């Protein structure tokens, strides 16, 4: 194999360190079993190019930098990835660290390799508000590249795995940051796509750097325990092998050691000591096919008694990452619990390599296509989430939610299986079926019984969603949905609705700004708007108006600048006619809100306060918030009630009444006779009065101030009513 590198006519190789040269030849020799000669020649060329590009660069440990991409590519050979992916791994840092362009890579190695490298490259040239935002944006770019080609993520996981293995030379704070990111994002992704061995190693390495003392203590204890357990493990192993041989079942049986972090997590979650966790012995049985798996299960249940409730059939219902196996826990000798996994050889390969088995064993087997299909569905949901997430940080938050491994399995009325994250509710299920069903769901049935939409799903539930054509997502759903897909769809809908309402409000505020400058809005031409948008880097005038409605811009400032660009601005215009008040109906939705502190209703003199990210908030002119100076008077806007207001408004009313039988009924009747509605009621003992009196607080719905006066007049005519007042906070 050394001839492959020696035959490449590149003088730059003369400076390559002997140990790196040897590692490169070893990497190429690992590919002999499954790559053609021309593919290995292609990889040798890629190595030489990467070596020349990283010339003079060293890692923190002092090793030549090229040793890192070479190690990443070597990890990928264990997953039997194709030549393009291995070339992408060798070249994955050349764009970021060596200034090589995507065009140059395309010309030398083809479009696919260039796309893989680009998906791995960070976005250092963009400016971000924070380090978290930069990390989130980098991660979003990588996930979108992964949705186009899964090999991007496989290269990234191998990259992260090698970095975690060689992190000793870094500062402690950086070690912890990278370890936390690994545990929160990369290890769960490895689990999600079925790379079990990489998942466990990433978890263990992250644990090592996040909690070095705990890792050290557990590691030492595990080594000491191995010797003591060897005899018991051997005895159980012999019993299992003898039983299977007697049943004429051909199988490979091995002891399975739990990884360190899973031991630590079990100790924390179940409040167990180290010795209690280690008292559980684990074994793996590999058989030839699915029928033999179930025969093996029966034989082992005859050997040792199964523990009730500890059996899981992941063959009939595979995990989301394609994992298939039978799990059972038995009472072993001396009452020792024994965990056993039973699976076929094909299942074992998928369990270890997950979706990477697509490249490893292209056999056209249905099992492998199922793995690909499930991963593809997950990647499509990522693309859907990204288009609806406002920013990279929000997108990353949605992704993290979906990476938790615990799942429940539920069924549609037609028997289709959906695996959902633990804690999912009916709304999560509706969005999992289809985003349109989620948007329009109004009710749900679990096992044929109507339940609230917030009901949590359990394993085996049959779930039916009731939808309506004109239904829309409810903001309150955000308080109980679990999945990233549901959360991103609901937020996207609310943002779209809020944007439309904010544009309408911004239009009115801008008109008021022009009127206060004694100028008509109509004189601002399309050309002037284009210049303003270019000057401020905005996409459209609707975005500017939405920001006015959300309080992110001031109408007067925008109006003045537009007039300046139009050449019609003169300082003496200030002090012109008073701007017309903005008319409000109180039914505009999210863009205009009635303040909770004073609960204004039509007929009350009102003022508007543009609050950032909340739009226009309406207060009464005598609101305590304004009176106490808690609101900036410069941000107050003249508003008035529209003549055509057609809705009901909430008003809190407090009544002090005699505590006699029938008093509450009489008050409710008086309110109803005035055509008002009661939405809430609460009673309490009044301070400074005897037990003969009670204080009742109602929230009434009235159409305007005149309507409220009619209600209060009816209440004052009651003999039992002592004092009636409209409440102010």
Q: How far is CA 19 from CA 23, 26, 29, 480, 668, in A?
A: 6, 10, 15, 56, 90
Position 340 scores a pLDDT of 92
Position 295 scores a pLDDT of 93
**pLDDT tier at 333 (50, 70, 90 boundaries)?**
confident
Q: Count Cβ neighbours within 10 Å for each residue of 156-192 and write b for 16 or more, e otherwise.
A: bbbbbbbbbebbeebeeeebbbbbeebbebbbbbbbb
Residue 569 has pLDDT above 60, yes or no: no
When pLDDT is averaged across residues 392-418 and rounded to a whole number, the result is 69
For residue 524, which of 516, 532, 534 has the smallest C-alpha distance? 532
Note the pLDDT tens digit of each residue in 702-718. Answer: 989 999 999 999 999 99
**pLDDT tier at 125 (50, 70, 90 boundaries)?**
very low
Catalytic-role residue among 23, 39, 82, 97: 97
Note the pLDDT tens digit of each residue in 348-390. Answer: 877 776 656 555 444 444 444 565 666 666 666 666 666 656 5
Point out the least confidently predicted range of 175-179, 391-395, 585-589. Answer: 585-589
Concerning whether 346 is annotated as a catalytic residue, the answer is no
Decide: 502 and 591 in contact? Cβ < 8 Å.
yes
**pLDDT tier at 72 (50, 70, 90 boundaries)?**
very high
Position 609 scores a pLDDT of 79
Point out the least confidently predicted range of 488-497, 531-540, 552-561, 647-656. Answer: 552-561
**Look-up of token digits 């009673």:** 683
Note the pLDDT tens digit of each residue in 19-69. Answer: 777 777 788 777 777 788 888 888 888 988 888 888 888 888 788 888 899
Q: What is the pTM of this model?
A: 0.58
Position 277 scores a pLDDT of 75
Distance of CA 390 to the CA centre of its chain: 12
Question: Which of 542-556, 629-643, 689-703 has the largest mean confidence?
Answer: 689-703
Q: Which residues contact 443 (CB under 8 A, 6 or more apart)?
A: 450, 453, 465, 466
**Look-up of token digits 């030398």:** 108
Cα distance between residue 155 and residue 73, in whole Å: 8
Residue 126 has pLDDT above 70, yes or no: no
Note the pLDDT tens digit of each residue in 170-191. Answer: 888 889 989 988 888 888 888 8
Cα distance between residue 647 and residue 679, in whole Å: 15
For residue 509, which of 625, 622, 600, 608 has the smallest C-alpha distance? 608
**pLDDT tier at 317 (50, 70, 90 boundaries)?**
confident
Cα distance between residue 152 and residue 113, in whole Å: 10
When pLDDT is averaged across residues 72-83 and rounded to a whole number, the result is 87
Strand residue runs (E) in 397-438 = 407-411, 417-421
Distance of CA 92 to the CA centre of its chain: 27
Cα distance between residue 36 and residue 257, in whole Å: 37
**pLDDT tier at 288 (50, 70, 90 boundaries)?**
very high
| 73 or 691, higher pLDDT | 73
When pLDDT is averaged across residues 620-632 and rounded to a whole number, the result is 74
Decide: 514 and 582 in contact? Cβ < 8 Å.
no
Catalytic-role residue among 23, 63, 96, 642: 96
Concerning whether 96 is annotated as a catalytic residue, the answer is yes
The DSSP bridge pattern shows strands 337-344 and 281-287 to be parallel
Output the average pLDDT for the chain. 79
**pLDDT tier at 427 (50, 70, 90 boundaries)?**
very high
Instruction: Return the percentage of the chain with pLDDT > 70, whole number.
Output: 79
Position 426 scores a pLDDT of 94
Angle at which helices 131-148 and 151-165 cross, to 10°: 130
Cα distance between residue 553 and residue 549, in whole Å: 8
| 395 or 419, higher pLDDT | 419
Quote the tokens at residue 571: 């300082």
Quote the tokens at residue 381: 């949901």
Position 566 scores a pLDDT of 76
| 369 or 576, higher pLDDT | 369
Note the pLDDT tens digit of each residue in 243-278. Answer: 999 989 999 998 877 788 888 888 887 787 877 776
Cα distance between residue 506 and residue 669, in whole Å: 43
Residue 218 has pLDDT above 80, yes or no: yes
DSSP string covering 288-333:
SSHHHHHHHHHHHHHHSEEPTT--EETTTS--TT----EEEEEE-G
Cα distance between residue 81 and residue 149, in whole Å: 13
């Amino acid at each position: 194999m050394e001839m492959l590198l020696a035959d490449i006519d590149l003088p730059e190789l003369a400076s390559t360190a002997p140990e790196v040269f040897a590692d490169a030849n070893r990497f190429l020799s690992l590919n002999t079993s499954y790559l053609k000669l021309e593919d290995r020649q292609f990889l040798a060329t890629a190595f030489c190019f990467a070596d020349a590009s990283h010339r003079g660069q060293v890692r923190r440990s002092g090793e030549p930098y090229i040793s890192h991409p070479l190690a990443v590519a070597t990890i990928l050979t264990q997953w039997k990835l194709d030549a393009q992916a291995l070339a992408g791994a060798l070249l994955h840092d050349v764009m970021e660290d060596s200034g090589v362009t995507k065009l140059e890579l395309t010309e030398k190695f083809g479009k696919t390799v260039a796309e893989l490298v680009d998906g791995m490259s960070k976005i250092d040239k963009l400016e971000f508000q924070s380090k978290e935002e930069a990390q989130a944006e980098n991660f979003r770019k990588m996930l979108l590249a992964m949705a186009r080609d899964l090999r991007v993520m496989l290269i990234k996981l191998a990259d992260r795995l090698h970095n975690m293995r060689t992190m000793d030379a870094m500062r402690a704070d950086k070690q912890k940051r990278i370890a936390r990111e690994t545990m929160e994002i990369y290890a769960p992704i490895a689990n999600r796509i079925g790379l079990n061995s990489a998942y466990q190693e990433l978890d263990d390495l992250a644990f090592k750097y996040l909690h070095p003392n705990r890792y050290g203590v557990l590691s030492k204890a595990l080594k000491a325990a191995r010797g003591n357990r060897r005899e018991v493990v051997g005895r159980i192993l012999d019993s299992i092998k003898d039983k299977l041989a007697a049943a004429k079942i051909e199988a490979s049986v091995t002891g399975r050691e739990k990884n360190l972090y899973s031991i630590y997590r079990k100790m924390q979650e179940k409040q167990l000591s180290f010795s209690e966790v280690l008292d559980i012995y684990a074994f793996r049985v590999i058989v030839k096919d699915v029928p033999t798996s179930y025969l093996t299960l029966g034989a082992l249940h005859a050997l040792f008694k199964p523990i009730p409730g500890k059996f899981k059939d992941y063959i009939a219902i595979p995990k989301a990452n394609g994992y298939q196996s039978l799990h059972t826990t038995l009472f072993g000798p001396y009452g020792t619990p024994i965990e056993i996994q039973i699976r076929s050889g094909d299942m074992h390969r998928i369990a270890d390599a997950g979706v990477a088995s697509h490249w490893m064993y292209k056999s056209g087997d249905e099992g492998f296509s199922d793995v690909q299909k499930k991963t593809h569905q997950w990647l499509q949901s990522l693309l859907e989430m990204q288009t609806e997430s406002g920013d990279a940080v929000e997108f990353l938050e949605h992704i993290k939610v979906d990476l938790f491994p615990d799942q429940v399995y539920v069924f549609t009325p037609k028997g289709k299986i959906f695996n959902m994250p633990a804690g999912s509710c009916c709304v999560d299920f509706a969005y999992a079926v289809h985003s349109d069903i989620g948007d329009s769901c109004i009710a749900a049935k679990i096992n044929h019984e109507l339940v609230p939409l917030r009901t949590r799903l359990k394993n085996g539930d049959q779930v039916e969603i009731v939808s309506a054509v004109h239904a829309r997502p409810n903001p309150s759903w955000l308080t109980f949905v679990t999945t990233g897909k549901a959360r991103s769809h609901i937020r996207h809908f609310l943002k779209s609705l809020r944007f439309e309402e904010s544009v309408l409000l911004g239009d009115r505020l801008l008109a008021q700004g022009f009127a206060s400058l004694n100028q008509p809005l109509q004189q601002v031409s399309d050309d002037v708007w284009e210049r303003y948008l270019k000057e401020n880097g905005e996409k459209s005038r609707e975005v500017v108006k939405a920001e006015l409605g959300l309080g992110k811009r001031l109408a007067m400032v925008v109006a003045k600048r537009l007039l300046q660009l139009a050449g019609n601005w003169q300082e003496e215009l200030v002090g012109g006619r008073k701007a017309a008040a903005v008319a409000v109906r109180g039914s505009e939705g999210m863009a205009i809100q009635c303040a909770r502190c004073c609960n204004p209703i039509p007929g009350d003199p009102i003022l508007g306060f543009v609050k950032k990210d909340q739009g226009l908030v309406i207060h009464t002119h005598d609101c305590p918030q304004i009176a106490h100076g808690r609101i900036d008077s410069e941000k107050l806007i003249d508003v008035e009630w529209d003549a055509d207001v057609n809705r009901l408004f909430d008003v809190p009313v407090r009544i002090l009444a005699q505590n006699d039988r029938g008093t509450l009924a009489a008050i409710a009747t008086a309110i109803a006779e005035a055509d008002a509605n009661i939405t809430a009621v609460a009673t309490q003992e009044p301070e400074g009065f005897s037990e003969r009196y009670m204080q009742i607080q109602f929230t009434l719905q009235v159409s305007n101030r005149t309507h409220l006066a009619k209600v209060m007049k009816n209440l004052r005519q009651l003999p039992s009513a002592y004092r009636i007042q409209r409440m102010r906070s």
